[in-house]
């Protein structure tokens, strides 16, 4: 039997769930006609080792292990790019998605001509186990706000459980943002601009289960990531969303600078030079920390790399500050209105800081070759 379905499963610390999930998928789909691609973000619990151990005896199973980067959406994209079947499904490894609806989802594509099938929690017959009211409210709010970037009404655009024709993925992949954790919303919003006609979408209800083992990959940053995805799909074609986030944080850094400067000058009676120097250093450190947490969340620096990154960030921003002052002074001396001259300097400095730190602080330009780390103990 030819392979009809590739199932992409992003993982992080899911070693306890992998074997059980594969047993459930085989029970739902039968023994042939599918493959599973686990995309693991270098889980410290040895998830990738578990998958490779299984794959040595099961050609239906593959592992992509990513080192030095993280993110659910980007993991899904890499897994889909590595898939070979004409139909691709995405689901989680935590056993919360109901694998028994996979045959119905596949039939909707092969027999009913659907382009994309969504496993929905919100249609009649769907639901969520033991979610508290605050989580339900957040989910519904995200669903409502997502409609500002969608043209087709769907009940659960935030679902992480869906299936699509490869042609739909090929149509959208080059313009996907890969930000955050809602790859379905990314695909739907991108297809709106790329497709000449609306996608044929089918929704299959399912009951969202409680997690059995492992821990949730969602944390306090999901709201920020979601906001960045919305921003990317609304203004991202005009302004890179990372640059937008970088600039917002830079604006907050200016306020931090002024607070420190005022406190040291007026409250602590420091001289201006000392106060200005301290305020500049504090603002730079603040900007680096916040950008490392938010703007470059998927490339976050830790340990020794954090300190190296801070140094490269401060050097780049120091040069950017000189460029800012130089450009502004030149324009002002050449009869440019002072406000415009100042803004031009700020813009040049911001673009410099963003471009250089993206390459040398959080990009590949400043990275050394990755050294192999000690493999984790093989889980029992």
Provide the pLDDT for residue 208.
Answer: 84
Mean local confidence (pLDDT), 153-157: 80
Provide the pLDDT for residue 136.
Answer: 62
Provide the pLDDT for residue 269.
Answer: 77
- Contact assessment for residue 102 and residue 24, using Cβ atoms and an 8 Å cutoff: no
Mean local confidence (pLDDT), 97-117: 94
- Contact assessment for residue 292 and residue 306, using Cβ atoms and an 8 Å cutoff: yes
Residue matched to tokens 């993982």: 11
pLDDT over threshold 50, residue 368 = no
Provide the pLDDT for residue 334.
Answer: 75
Mean local confidence (pLDDT), 75-88: 94
Host H or E run for residue 333 = helix 303-333
pLDDT over threshold 80, residue 60 = yes
pLDDT over threshold 70, residue 151 = no
Mean local confidence (pLDDT), 137-161: 72
The segment with the largest mean pLDDT, out of 134-138, 161-165, 266-270, is: 161-165
Provide the pLDDT for residue 130.
Answer: 65
Provide the pLDDT for residue 24.
Answer: 96
For the ranges 121-130, 294-303, 346-355, 358-367, the lowest mean pLDDT is seen at 358-367
Provide the pLDDT for residue 367.
Answer: 42
Host H or E run for residue 169 = helix 166-172
Mean local confidence (pLDDT), 314-334: 76
pLDDT over threshold 70, residue 67 = yes
pLDDT over threshold 90, residue 163 = yes
Provide the pLDDT for residue 73.
Answer: 87
For the ranges 30-44, 203-217, 281-295, 359-373, the lowest mean pLDDT is seen at 359-373
Top-confidence residue, 59 or 143: 59
Residue matched to tokens 């911001």: 350
**Cα dihedral 29, 30, 35, 41 sign:** positive
Q: Pick from 236, 240, 164: which is nearest to 195 by CA?
A: 164
């Amino acid at each position: 039997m030819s392979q009809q379905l590739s199932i992409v499963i992003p993982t992080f610390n899911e070693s306890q769930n992998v074997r059980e999930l594969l047993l459930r998928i085989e029970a739902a789909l039968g023994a042939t006609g599918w493959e599973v691609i686990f995309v693991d973000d270098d889980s410290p619990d040895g998830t990738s080792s578990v998958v490779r151990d299984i794959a040595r005896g099961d050609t239906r199973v593959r592992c992509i292990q990513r080192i030095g980067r993280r993110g659910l959406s980007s993991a899904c994209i890499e897994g889909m790019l590595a898939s070979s079947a004409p139909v691709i499904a995405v689901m989680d490894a935590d056993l919360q998605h109901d694998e028994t609806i996979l045959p119905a989802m596949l039939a909707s594509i092969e027999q009913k001509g659907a382009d994309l099938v969504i496993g929905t929690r919100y249609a009649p017959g769907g639901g969520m186990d033991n979610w508290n009211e605050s989580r339900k409210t957040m989910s519904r709010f995200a669903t409502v706000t997502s409609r500002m970037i969608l043209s087709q009404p769907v009940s659960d655009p935030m679902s992480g459980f869906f299936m699509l024709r490869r042609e739909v993925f090929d149509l959208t992949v080059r313009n996907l943002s890969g930000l955050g954790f809602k790859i379905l919303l990314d695909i739907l919003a991108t297809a709106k601009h790329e497709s000449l006609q609306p996608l044929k979408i089918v929704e299959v209800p399912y009951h969202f289960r409680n997690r059995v083992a492992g821990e949730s990959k969602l944390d306090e940053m999901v709201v920020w990531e979601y906001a960045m995805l919305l921003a990317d799909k609304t203004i991202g074609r005009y302004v890179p969303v990372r640059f937008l986030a970088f600039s917002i944080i830079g604006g907050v850094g200016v306020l931090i600078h002024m607070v420190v400067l005022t406190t040291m000058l007026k409250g602590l009676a420091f001289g201006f030079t000392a106060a200005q120097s301290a305020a500049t250093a504090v603002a730079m450190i603040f900007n680096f920390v916040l950008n490392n947490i938010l703007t470059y969340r998927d490339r976050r620096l830790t340990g020794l790399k954090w300190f190296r990154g801070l140094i490269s960030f401060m050097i780049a921003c120091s040069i950017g500050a000189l460029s800012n002052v130089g450009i502004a002074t030149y324009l002002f001396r050449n009869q440019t209105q002072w406000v415009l001259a100042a803004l031009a300097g700020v813009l040049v400095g911001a673009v410099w800081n963003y471009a250089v730190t993206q390459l040398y602080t959080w990009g590949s330009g400043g990275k050394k070759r990755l050294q192999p780390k000690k493999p984790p103990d093989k889980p029992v």
